[in-house]
Amino acid sequence: MIRFNEDRRRLLQALGATAALGSTSLLSGCATTGQGKTIGRVVVIGGGFGGATAAKYLRKWSKGTIDVVLIERQSHFISCPTSNEVLAGHRKYETLVHSYDALRKNWGVKVIQAEVTGVDPVRHTVSTDKGEVIPYDRLVVSPGIDFNFGAVAGYDAKARESILHAWKAGPQTLALRQQLEDLRDGGTFVLSIPKAPYRCPPGPYERTSQIAHYFKTHKPKSKILVLDANDKIISKTKLFADNWAEDYKGIIEYRPNWNATEVDAASRTLTSEIGDKVRGDIINLIPPQTAGQIAHQAGVVNANNRWADVNWITLESTAVKDIHVLGDATLSAPTMPKSGHMANQHGKAAAAAIFETFSGRTPQPITMANTCYSLVDHRRAIHVDSVHRWDAEKKTVVPVPGSGGVSTAPSIEEGLYARAWAQNIWADSLG
């Protein structure tokens, strides 16, 4: 395989133009004769909603002429969306877990389970903890978020054994569910929400509704205390406020502008930046976030030392050439949320841009859309959605005036759509 790449490079040097990448003879050569010519090689780091989708659609749209290697450290995809339902006992954990086999079998993506240890943007290589050095023409970095535990004093490795975030689905999801099951009736669950931007804006509020439903039906004397570093519920504001007032009266207490800066794990106490203290039986502390570590390592994190600024036509980094960044790791465009749905859209936009470039064409802006469903109990859901279009003057994507919106009220109908959405986006990203 390396040979193909070198051959192609030599050919390119000889021709002195990247446009040669797209020569149709190469393309149809692959498609019709089966001799395995490629028009380019892409390495994707991270198999979440962004990276998996990019890998699939690169293969699909190029009709197999782009060689795609996906490097993911986990053996399986574990979905954050719908994981709040697991906490409430409304969904089996196993339904969050999905295999990468379909990407391999259906699309010919080479999926490698490994940890990326380095990116060399000059030599165009990625190295892994398995000792592999993998060359790329384009690199797609889709690492999701990492936590800034340092922003909360006392949130060290020891504290993290009992103070959970459960903001990446996986073992923490199960552990927090266990804490909820073990809680005595009459206990207090404290949820601490960081200042925006963070992954999944409505997620903490959905979690509140989900756990409130569990308390209401299983531990009716128990309480939820929501400590929000933001000045209000930042997503589906009125819908959540109404849901809590109407369905979970007396269970949920909401305190805005409560920014947790210290935790004492032993006494399960949070301290705010102005010195207020709160004790709870369970502390669910979601820390502030930043682009995944590998994005920092690759040098694409150029906004506040937290996020990766990208060109919103191609998703290419504005800091490093030939590296595209997707999903939660990006410096979000105006009003664009950090969501799985959005990351899937980023993956498609990047796949289209890379395929167009390899084909000798200029990538065109692509309209993107978002939807976040939230379950407010065991069967009713609400949503927020938006459509984002390229604005040539502002050089970014902006919401289309008059489009998008939220539900009028929670409904069973939307509960069905929310669950269908999860099934369908898992299949669209991984299947």
Partner 1 sequence: MKAFATPLLGCCLLAAAQLAGATETPRPTPYFAANCFNCHGTEGKVNSAIPAIAGRDREYLAEALKAYKAGTKPATIMHQLAKGYTDEELAILADYFSRQK
212 to each of 69, 280, 300, 384, how far by Cα in Å? Answer: 43, 15, 40, 21
C-beta of 20 vs 369, nearer to ligand HEC = 369
- Listed in sequence order, the residues at least 6 apart from 268 whose beta carbon sits closer than 8 Å to its beta carbon are 162, 163, 190, 279, 280, 281, 282, 283
CB of 279 to ligand HEC, least distance (A): 40
Contact partner at residue 187 from partner 1, ligand HEC, none, CB < 5 to 8 Å by partner kind: none
Q: Which is nearer to partner 1, 217 or 367 (CB)?
A: 367
**93 or 390: CB nearest partner 1:** 390
Nearer to partner 1, 127 or 148 (CB): 127
Beta carbon nearer to partner 1, 194 or 203: 203
User: How close are the terminal C-alpha atoms of the chain, in Å?
Assistant: 25
CB of 82 to ligand HEC, least distance (A): 14
Name the minimum Å distance from CB 19 to partner 1: 17
Spatial separation of the C-alpha atoms in residues 276 and 284, rounded to whole Å: 17
β-strand pairing of 66-72 with 110-113: parallel
Q: How many CB atoms lie within 10 A of CB 111?
A: 20
Q: Which stretches of the chain bind partner 1, using CB under 8 A?
A: 1-2, 4, 30-36, 38, 57, 59, 61, 63-65, 67-69, 107-110, 341, 344-345, 348-349, 352, 366-369, 371, 383, 385-387, 389, 400, 402-405, 407, 411, 413-414, 416-417, 419-421, 423-425, 427-428, 431
Cis amide leading into 197 (omega within 30): yes
Under DSSP, is residue 112 helix (H, G, I), strand (E, B) or coil? strand
Q: Which residues contact 122 (CB under 8 A, 6 or more apart)?
A: none
Residues forming contacts to ligand HEC in the complex (CB under 6 A) are 369, 371, 417, 421
Distance of CA 403 to the CA centre of its chain: 23
C-beta of 242 vs 428, nearer to ligand HEC: 428
Q: In the bound complex, what is the minimum distance in angstroms from residue 341's beta carbon to partner 1?
A: 6
Q: How far is the CB of 32 from ligand HEC (least distance, A)?
A: 32
